[in-house]
Amino acid sequence: MPTVTSTHEIAPSAAGIAAYGEFWRVSELAFAAPTAQDWEAELSMVARGQALTDLVIEVRNYASVPAHVEGAITHDARPDPVLAPKPDRVSVLDCIDISGSMLVADADGAVLDDQASQTPRYQYRAEVVRDASGTWLVETTAPSLDQPC
């Protein structure tokens, strides 16, 4: 029978990267269907603080248009080589590639992105922290559109 390993037993960098991946998985579900539900409760299971606030605002903005994201956003996340992981904090450096995705209006399918002026690949930093219960959550995010990757 396989053994389940808790995130307490996983190295902080691996646990932080796994939590960051889950943050994006849930975020992308919300971006793909922002009007399907109130996403705040589900998003709060993967994020807190500034990261959660910004994410909820973005999903609500898409819902208000209404519009959704189609296609794939790809990632190349790794622990930030400049900032060593701590037992309860991991800095993540990612290369986000949005070239395979677009923001589409629900009403008529019109593409709403200004794809000609978009930076398709850029660096994205996140801080992932372990809370008192042992759950890893993305706490801060910082896209760097001026830093292509």
Query: Domains of the chain, with CATH numbers?
Result: 12-144 (3.10.450.50)
Tokens describing residue 121: 């690949």
Q: What is the pLDDT of residues 57-77, one digit of tens each?
A: 999 999 999 999 999 999 999
H or E element in which residue 93 lies: strand 89-105
Q: Exposed e or buried b for every residue in 69-106, given b needs 16+ CB within 10 A?
A: beeeeeeebebbeeeebeeebbbbbbbbbbeebbbbee
- pLDDT for position 9: 53
- pLDDT for position 1: 43
Q: How many residues does the chain have?
A: 149
Query: 3-state DSSP call for residue 84?
Result: coil
| Residues of the chain where predicted confidence (pLDDT) is lower than 50 | 1-8
